């Protein structure tokens, strides 16, 4: 064996030993952080748990898993549990964490008529950090079903994204559901798809922590796109949600092929069909003919929301439920 080969072998052994030490150090730090996080989250009336915790991933990953995970809040009589959690990050890129979420999800809280249950065939999340702050949070689900009592919603594919926006502590939120349907008792609607983007004048950490008490929530940009049958409804505008839960603002609603929408509305389950049909029927009846950017004929209506009451001009056509 030549001198160069010997030097190469020695260097390889030294590098492997050094990298092993780095990985073991990172694993120790992760285990310490997990202990601290679970302890902090279990102070007072809250309790976090991660059963059968495992940490692995050598040589290039940090992998963290729980056979089941959950949260319980005594004062609010709130509990949530997850079927399992697998998280992984590269040792040299710890700011990006990928997690697989295992169903089912069970949420119970005081005052709810029925617990909320979630099931899915695949659930994935991606968390990116920048300078110890959230840069982006994304979640994707295939075959998602959310049910409570006799009511359920099914989505073939759904996505949720949240990230900081602009320079004024704003947050962009996006939600997409493809080939969704709602069911109540034995009635199920025809499929529809929805895309929603919202900009909120609050930082992500406030929204994710639910620290909304005594705050006005300003939504300077709201975009909703709903496609059902051969009809398309787009809504855009701005809202101001006050501390009392009262909403004010203006929304412009544009409907393509409103005649096709009537058939979809008739497939809605009876408990929501009449109210929804009355509201959308009044909205379309009060709309004015217009053309979109492509020159396609559409119906257009500006809605004003004043203290949760929805007006088309001076006519009240509906009312929102307080959100806080």
pLDDT per residue rounded down to tens, the chain (324 residues): 677 677 777 788 888 888 788 778 878 887 887 777 777 655 566 678 888 888 888 888 889 998 888 877 766 678 889 999 999 998 888 899 999 999 999 988 776 778 899 999 999 999 998 877 888 999 999 999 999 988 999 999 999 999 998 776 889 999 999 999 999 988 899 999 999 999 998 888 777 766 666 678 899 999 999 999 889 999 999 999 887 778 999 999 999 988 888 888 889 998 788 888 888 888 888 889 988 888 888 899 999 999 999 998 888 988 888 765
Global pTM exceeds 0.95:
no
Length of the chain in terms of residues written: 324
Distances (CA, A) of 271 to 39, 183, 194: 45, 10, 21
The full set of domain ranges for the chain reads 1-91, 120-319
3-class DSSP string for the chain: CCHHHHHHHHHHHHHHHHHHHHHHHHHHHHHHHHHHHHHHHCCCCEEEEEECCEEECCCCEEEEEECEEEEEECCCCEEEEEEEEEEEEECCEEEEEEEEEEEEEEEECCCCCCCEEEECCEEEEEEEEECCEEEEEEEEEEEEEEEECCEEEEEEEEEEEEEEECCCCEEEEEEEEEEEEEEECCEECCCEEEEEEEEECCCHHHHHHCCCCCCCEEEEEEEEEEEECCEEEEEEEEEEECCCCCEEEEEEEEEECHHHHHHHHCCCCHHHHHHHHHHHHHHHHCCEEEECCCCCEEEEEEEEEECCEEEECCEEEEECCCCC
Question: What are 155's strand-pairing partners?
Answer: 144, 180
Which tokens is 257 given?
A: 């092929």
């Amino acid at each position: 064996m030549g001198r160069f080969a010997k030097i190469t072998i020695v260097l390889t052994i030294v590098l492997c030993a050094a990298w092993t030490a780095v990985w073991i150090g990172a694993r120790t730090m992760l285990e310490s952080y997990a202990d601290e996080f679970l302890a902090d989250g279990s102070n007072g009336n809250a309790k976090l748990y991660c059963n059968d915790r495992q940490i692995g991933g050598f040589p290039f990953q940090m992998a963290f898993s729980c056979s089941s995970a959950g949260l319980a809040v005594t004062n609010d009589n709130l509990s949530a549990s997850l079927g399992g959690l697998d998280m992984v990050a590269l040792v040299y890129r710890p700011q990006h964490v990928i997690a697989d979420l295992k169903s089912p999800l069970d949420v119970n809280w005081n005052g709810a008529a029925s617990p909320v249950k979630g099931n899915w065939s695949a659930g994935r999340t991606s968390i990116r950090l920048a300078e110890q702050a959230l840069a982006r949070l994304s979640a994707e689900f295939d075959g998602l079903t959310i049910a409570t009592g006799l009511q359920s919603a099914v989505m073939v594919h759904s996505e949720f994204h949240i990230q900081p926006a602009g320079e004024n502590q704003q947050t962009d939120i996006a939600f997409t559901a493809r080939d969704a349907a709602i069911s109540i008792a034995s009635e199920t609607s025809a499929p529809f798809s929805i895309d929603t983007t919202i900009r909120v004048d609050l930082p992500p950490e406030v929204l994710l922590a639910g620290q909304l008490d005594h705050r006005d929530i300003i939504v300077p940009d709201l975009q909703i796109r709903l496609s059902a049958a051969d009809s398309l409804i787009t809504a855009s505008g701005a809202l101001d949600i006050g501390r009392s839960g009262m909403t004010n603002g203006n929304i412009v609603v544009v409907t393509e092929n409103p005649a096709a929408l009537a058939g979809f509305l008739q497939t809605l389950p009876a408990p929501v069909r009449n109210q929804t049909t009355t509201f959308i029927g009044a909205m379309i009846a009060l709309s004015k003919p217009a053309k979109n950017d492509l020159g396609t004929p559409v119906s257009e209506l500006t809605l004003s929301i004043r203290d949760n009451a929805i007006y088309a001009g001076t006519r009240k056509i509906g009312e929102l439920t307080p959100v806080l």
